[in-house]
Structure 1
Amino acid sequence: YDSPLSEAAVLGFDYGYSLAEPNMLIVWEAQFGDFANGAQVIIDQFLSSAESKWGRLSGLVMMLPHGQEGQGPEHSSARLERFLQLCGDNNMQVANCSTAAQHFHILRRQLHRKVRKPLILMTPKGHLRSKAASSDFDEFVKGRFHEVLGDPTVPGAKAKRVVVTVGKVHHELAERRIEEGRDDIALVRVEQLYPLHEQLLAETLAPYAKAELVFCQDEPQNMGAWSFLAPHLERITGKKLLYAGREAAASPAPGSPMLFALEQEALISTALGVTAKKITKAKH
C-alpha cells in the first residue's frame, strides 16, 4: 500500500506516545535530518514549548543525521541552529555526540533520569563506519556521559592553539593534526550544547589560557552552533574567538562535490593553522 509520507504525522504520534508512556525510550529517527523540516510545526508548537504552555512533560528523542559528508544540500543538515534557537528555560536537551559510548550513555541517561525532557540528537551517518568514533567496551560498561570532552594528549603549557568543535569535524581535525605532526594544538569537544555545562567548559579551557582560541564547524556560519556558542565561549574565556568554517550561505551544503571538498579542506586547514592541501579530484 502506497501510504502518504508525513513527518509531521509520525512525529506527532510519537510525541503523544511519549506523553502516554513516560517510562519508555521513544525515538523518532529521520533517514536524513533535513526531513525534520516537514515536522517543524510539531517541534515548535509541542516538543519545545508544551512544558511551558501546559505543563506537559515529554522524554521523546529525535535522532537526526547531521553533518557535512558530501551528500548535497538536502542530506546534510538537521538544522541544528533552529533547535538551539528554541532552547530556553531548560525546555529540552540538544547534543551532538562524537563517539559511540557518548551516544549510548546519553540515551541511557534519558531513561534513567527522573525528569522528562525532549532530547535532540545530531547523528552523523559517517559515525556508523568510523573507527575514530568507535569506543572500547569499558567505555560502555564503566563510563558515563560527558557534556564536554577535553584533550588529555595536549597539556595546557604546550598548547599554542585550542580548537573548540561540535560533532564529526573533530575526527577530521584529529586525523589532520597527526598528519601535520602538530602536538601543540588542543581539540575540545562540546558534546551537549543545551543545557550548556558552562562550569565544565570553563574548567576544560582554563589550562589553555595563553593559547589562541578557535571555534570550528563544518556548517555555514549562519547555521550550526556558531551563533549559539560564540557569545558563551567569549564570555567564559574573556578572549576574542576566531571562526573556522564555511561562509554564510543560503543552502546548508554545496551541490558540487568539488566545491564541498575545497570548502572542507579550507576550514580544516584554517582551524589548525596549517597549509591547505591542493584538491585535484573530489571524493564523493
Structure 2
Amino acid sequence: MILPHGYDGAGPEHSSCHIERFLQNSSSSETVPDGDDVNWYIVNPTTPAQYFHVLRQQMIRNFRKPVIVVGPKVLLRHPAATSTLLDMAPGTHFLPVIGDLDVNPDNVKKVIFVSGKHYYTLVGERKARGITDTAIIRLESLCPFPTLQINAELMKYKKAKKFVWSQEEHRNMGAWFFVHPRFENLCSTKLEYAGRDVSGVPASGVAQVHKAEAQALINQTFAL
C-alpha cells in the first residue's frame, strides 16, 4: 500500500496518510527488539533506491507481509531526492537507517532523528545556518523498529549531549508516540520533541498558518 503524505500547505486530509494509525495497529514491541515476525512493515523511503529496494525486497522474500509505504509526492520532483545506479547495483539493499556522512562525528554535539521528506528541509536549513555540530539521521523503517542500526549510529557520536526527534506532523500524530518509548527502552536515549503541537486535524489548511508552523518547528529543531 503506497500512501501520499506530506505537509505541503494543502488541505488537512491531503497532508497526512495518518501513519500513526498504521503504527498503532502494528505488533511492534516497545521493550523487545523487533524481528521479521511483526504483522506488517511500515517504511518511509526518501530516495529512489530505497523505494526500489522496498519493492524488490517484497518480491524476493520467502514470506509475505503487508508493506505500508509512506510516499510523499513532493519527492518525485525534489532535486536532492536522487540515486545513482550504483545504489541499486548487486549487493545493495534497503537501509532501515541512513546515517549522516556530511558531518565529522567528533564535532557532533546534537543528533536529530527524522523520518521521511522532512529530512531534506532540515538538511537545507542546517546548510543555510552554517551548522557543523549537528547530525541528521533518517529512519527509513519504522516497523520493524531498527534498534540495532540506531544503536550503531549512536555509537559514532561520543560527544553528543542532545537528541531530538523532529517531525512535520502534530505531536499526537506521526511517529513521535511510536519512536519515543522505543528510543528510551531499546536505545537508552531520551529524545526531545520538535514539531507541531497537539491538534484535532492533520493540517490547518490556511497557507499563512501553515508557513508560520513550518518555520516554528524548524527553529525549535535547531534551538533545542
Q: State TM-score, norm by structure 1.
A: 0.72
Describe the SS at the equivalent of 1:251: coil
1:118 aligns with 2:66: yes
Q: Supply the AA of the counterpart residue of 2:119.
A: H
Aligned residue type for 2:178: F
The 1:209/1:241 distance shift into structure 2, 3 A limit, reads farther
For 1:141 and 1:238, the matched residues in 2 are separated by 35
RMSD: 1.3
Q: CA deviation at 1:156?
A: 2.4
Query: What is the letter of the counterpart of residue 120 of structure 2?
Result: H
**1:90 and 2:29 aligned:** no
The equivalent of 1:241 in structure 2 is 191
Q: Which of 138, 148, 166 is matched with 1:216 structurally?
A: 166
Structure with bigger gyration radius: 1
Letter in 1 for 2:66: P
5+ residue gaps, structure 1, are 1-61, 275-284
Residue 155 of structure 1 contacts residue 207 of structure 1 at CA under 8 Å; is this kept in 2? no
Identify the residue that residue 145 of structure 2 maps to in structure 1: 196
Instruction: Map Cα deviations across residues 108-151 of structure 1 (whole Å, 9 max, x no partner).
Output: 10001111000000000100110111112211224311000111
1:47-84 C-alpha deviation (Å, 9 max, x unpaired): xxxxxxxxxxxxxxx00001111112020111100000
Which stretches in structure 2 are left out of the alignment for 5+ residues?
Answer: 28-36
Alignment of 1:263-278 (within 5 A): 263-273=213-223
Determine which structure has greater relative contact order: mean sequence separation of CA pairs < 8 Å that are 6+ residues apart, divided by chain length.
2
Percent identity over the alignment is 40
Output aligned runs, 1:63-142, within 5 Å: 63-88=2-27, 90-142=38-90
Q: Secondary structure at the match of 1:259?
A: helix
Matches within 5 A, 1:110-189: 110-142=58-90, 143-189=92-138
Alignment of 1:253-272 (within 5 A): 253-272=203-222
Matched pairs, number: 213
